Structures are given as structure tokens and as C-alpha cells.
Amino acid sequence: MTPQTTDVPSQRATSASGATVAGVDPSPVPQGAHDGLTAASTGELVQRLSTQLSELIRRELELARTELTAKGKRAGAGAGLAGAGGVVALFGVGALIAAAIAGLATVLPVWLSALIIGVVLLLVAGVLALAGRSQIKQATPAVPEKAVQGVQDDVATVKGAVHR
């Protein structure tokens, strides 16, 4: 290995089964790497370590940025679609509310029909707001999970190699 190259994988990619894909070698030490390490001086080894750690950190940060960008785009598109659906549903709900008040007004006075329907709608709104708050709490914080796991794996690998 030349001083300009590193063994840091360019990206982490796993399939649904957890198997490594995209040509990333999961083995921690390449074949024949120990031969070059035993002949290298301590200074060369420290230089390689510094270069490889810098490259590793740079690529982990790039992975985190990429992951957060993709999540942000997905969330933005979902919010837009949900908002459009909400506007259309609002018109439909308005028509159904008017129909419910008119139907109940055949039995009760109109003001009492509107009051009953209004109270029922406020109760439904409260239940939906609580369910939405619960969903939002489950979605936060927005953490780049793959990048965090990758850094944890890297730290564990370095600790394991140092203790040998």
C-alpha cells in the first residue's frame, strides 16, 4: 500500500439481510497487510494511521450528510402530500358537518344541532392531536443512524486492534 491510499471503504452498504454489498470488504485487515506493517517504521505507521483516520472521519461525515439529506427530502415530500390531502379533506369534512347539522336539525333546533356537532368535532380533534404528538416524539431526534453505527463500529475495531 502506498502512503496516498487507504483501506477505508468508500461507503457502507448493506442489504436487507445484513450482508455487505457494493464491493465493500467486511474483513478488518486486508490479506498481506501485516507484511508491510512489520517492515514499516514507527513514523510511517503513525503517518498511515493519521491519514487513514482522517479519511475515515471525512467519509463518515459525508455519509451522515448524505443520509440526513435523503431523510429531509423524503420528509419534505411527505409533508407536502399530507398538506394537500388535508386541504381536500377539509372541504369534504365541511360538507359532512353541514349535512350532519341539517340532519340533526330535523329532530332538534338548529342551534342545538350545531352545538352537539361542534362538541363532537372538538373531541375528535383532541384525540387526533394527542396521537400526532405521540408520532412526532417517536420520530425525533433526527439522527443519521447508519453513520452513527458506522462510527461505533470503527471505534470498536480500533479499540480491538490496539488491545492486541
CA–CA distances in Å: residue 89 to residues 34, 75, 76: 66, 21, 20
What is d(CA 3, CA 31) in angstroms, rounded to the nearest whole number?
A: 17
What is d(CA 128, CA 93) in angstroms, rounded to the nearest whole number?
A: 15
Q: Is 22 within 8 Å of 11 (Cβ atoms)?
A: yes
What is d(CA 65, CA 75) in angstroms, rounded to the nearest whole number?
A: 15
pLDDT for position 112:
94
pTM metric for this prediction: 0.39
What is d(CA 158, CA 164) in angstroms, rounded to the nearest whole number?
A: 10
Chunk the chain into consecutive blocks of 10 residues (it has 164) and report each block's average pLDDT, rounded to whole numbers: 46 45 47 66 87 90 88 86 91 93 94 93 92 82 78 85 73
